[in-house]
A and B are shown apart, each in its own frame.
Chain A
Amino acid sequence: PNDQKKESIGDAITVFHDPENFNVKHPLMHHWTLWFTKPPSGKDINWNDLLKEVVTFSSVEEFWGIYNNITPTSELGLKADYHLFKKGVRPEWEDQQNKHGGKWSYSFRDKRAVSIDDLWLHAQLAAIGETLENDDDNEVMGVVVNVRKGLYRIGLWTRTVGRSIEGRSAAKGKEVLENIGRRFKEVLRLKDPEVVEFSGHTDSARSSAKAKPKYTV
């Protein structure tokens, strides 16, 4: 809005000037919520008991306070997930805002060789820094890391599966998603021959076995 007060630049003290006594912080374009999926133990039976909201934040400084004070992915138990989603979106495909969407994902199958903490950090930075999509794309819902037997998987959830929507042809929709996929692939530091796959949530849910990916980059 235009009626915001002019910033007096001279007295802006950032965390870089004084980490203890700063008076300005860096806003994020969105509020983000970090969720955690607990590995099921004997008494937990349903997913809803396992999926926990950890914290919601809206500044770069808060993100680092959280990141620097939470268990790294590499130390989580099997079947644990972190999900970083825009506030108000549950990291489940049944959520109203996800149910027409899908995800780009890549599985790292050599767990000892991959620096999963760095990759997950970079996926989060790309999400909160808003460098995964163009301004009008409005596709990114969140990012997720899964810790599984034999693999780590990092995913990026999108609002659509590239169908034709308001003011966007199907071809344009596909192009938007593929651009996002290519940026995501770069964030994950994957080389060309490695393939990142996109699938729609409902396709994955319906065919339990191997659904063919809708797009690849």
Chain B
Amino acid sequence: ETNKPVEPPQQTAAMKSLHSARFIQDPSKICYPLSIVSPSPALNANAPSDRKFKYNKEFLLQFQAVFKEKPSLDWDARVRETVGDAGESARPQSAR
């Protein structure tokens, strides 16, 4: 990592959770809050135990308003490098 700042800014709680969370082994066994619709069981009915990870769009869309954290601390810089400075019309993400 060459572009790591000398004094790294603090990770947010959500970012830490994202990195430390363990992978669910069987989403059909998770008790979601009542407001959440579980992944469609039919998609994974015949899947072997390590491949029960098909998700329907309705399930996936529920995350949209819930997880808004940037994936990493260097995200703004990475977007600027790859996408953001793409030209006049490509608007750079607002960096703080």
Question: Interface residues, chain A, CB within 8 Å of chain B?
Answer: 1-2, 4, 7, 9, 12, 14-17, 19-29, 36, 38-39, 41, 52-55, 57, 59-71, 75-78, 80, 122, 125-126, 128-131, 135
B residues in contact (CB < 8 Å) with A: 12-14, 17-18, 20-27, 29-33, 35-36, 43, 46-47, 49-51, 53-57, 59-64, 66-71, 75, 78-79, 81-84, 86-93
Interface of B is mostly: loop
For B59, what are the chain A residues with a Cβ–Cβ distance below 8 Å? 129
Question: Does the CB pair B56–A129 fall under 8 Å?
Answer: yes
Q: Is the CB of B67 within 8 A of A61?
A: yes
Query: Are B13 and A21 closer than 8 Å at their CB atoms?
Result: yes
Q: A23-B17, A26-B53, A77-B88 are in contact. Are A65 and B67 (CB under 8 A)?
A: yes
The CA-CA distance from A1 to B33 in the complex, in Å, is: 29
A-B contacts, 20 of them at CB < 8 A, read: A9-B31, A19-B66, A20-B14, A22-B17, A22-B21, A23-B20, A24-B30, A26-B24, A26-B27, A36-B83, A38-B82, A38-B86, A39-B89, A52-B83, A57-B71, A60-B60, A64-B63, A70-B93, A125-B60, A125-B61
